[in-house]
Homo-oligomer: A and B are copies of this chain.
Amino acid sequence: MKKGCPFGTHRVIAPAGALPQPAKKIDNTMEIYDNEILIDVQTLNIDSASFTQIKEQAGGDVEKIKEIMMGIVAERGKHQNPVTGSGGMLIGTVEKIGPALEGKTDLKVGDKIATLVSLSLTPLRIDEIVEVRKNIDQVDIKGKAILFESGIYAVLPDDLPENLALSVLDVAGAPAQTAKLVKPGDTVLVIGGAGKSGMLCCYEAKRRAGVTGKVICLGSSEKSLERAKQANIADVYIAADATKPVEVMEKVSAVTGGKMADITINCVNVPDTEMSSILATKKEGLIYFFSMATSFTKAALGAEGVGSDVTMIVGNGYTKGHAQITLQIMRESKELRKIYEELYA
């Protein structure tokens, strides 16, 4: 059996010397190396920015969506959207474990897991697309995938439905990072706060900011904000177009008495919301960009352009304990769980 690198570089076909994520093409043959785990895949949960783009390209047509997805995997050996660069995650059953992982992993054959590394670096073979659940970014397939030695995963919990766990695990990084960043008394703005990752961030921000803090949930539609209100995840709800910086700035100014946000968490999966985040945040505040639609240069030059000293953080999908923190929200909040079961599971 061939020996593999912990990061999966042994699967990279082009360009040479790259890691699997930035690689243009990786090897998706399903014969495992000594430190790999073979997964029998059941469901793909496509990254929201990626799936939005695919749906638009397909004009909403399911057969066309299938064709685009098969095309991506055929070309790259992984489901990495060439436009957004992003992937998603999957659930499946452990089918084989490489011998070099013995004693290193707590997984066993037959365990049902969610991989928490991006599909943008995961070797994947799709034999058949069984069902496309357009409104929740989930796609059931017949196929196989490979988890590298450095790849992170969560064994699916017994006390939560699978699709629900998958939906929230997909965005687990955002609320867990929120938990690390927000301090008591902070004014926290969540842009896209009524969306899938946004509601979890609002919930976690409210818990940390406490009674002396203020959590502002900014969403694009009154309908989604109504839903968020029912779950009581914020102190203030604002309807605004996140791509309109001046509008967002004025509305946030109105609800903060001109003081603006200490921390802004951007969870909105559309481009051109960097400037709204910057203008809504105090000049020495902090912005956490969780959206994969964020442009590095727009953020960097945007802050400089308005003379803002704000600290801007690139959303890291992983932080220690992120799966536990996020699954716990589904156990604690009946209201949020109900919403996530209805919308995303």
Binding site for B on A (CB under 8 A): 5, 7, 9, 17-22, 84-87, 116-118, 120-121, 150-152, 173, 243-247, 272, 274-275, 279, 284, 289, 292, 294-320
Q: Which residue of B lies closest to A308 (CB)?
A: B318
Q: Is the CB of B118 within 8 A of A275?
A: no
Q: How far is the CA of A299 from the CA of B309 in the complex (A)?
A: 22
Q: Shortest 7 CB-CB distances between A and B: which pairs? A: A304-B317, A85-B297, A312-B314, A296-B296, A304-B318, A152-B307, A121-B305
Q: Is the CB of B305 within 8 A of A316?
A: no
Q: Is the CB of B21 within 8 A of A246?
A: no
Tell me, rounded to whole Å, the shortest Cβ–Cβ distance linking A23 to chain B.
10
**Interface majority SS (helix, strand, loop, mixed), chain A:** loop
B17, B87, B150, B298: the one within 8 Å of A306 (CB): B150
Q: How many copies does the complex hold?
A: 2
Q: Is the CB of B173 within 8 A of A298?
A: no
Q: How far is the CA of A305 from the CA of B314 in the complex (A)?
A: 14
Q: Is the CB of A307 within 8 A of B314?
A: no
Q: Is the CB of B117 within 8 A of A305?
A: yes
**A21-B275, A292-B300 are contacts. A118–B305 as well, Cβ < 8 Å?**
yes
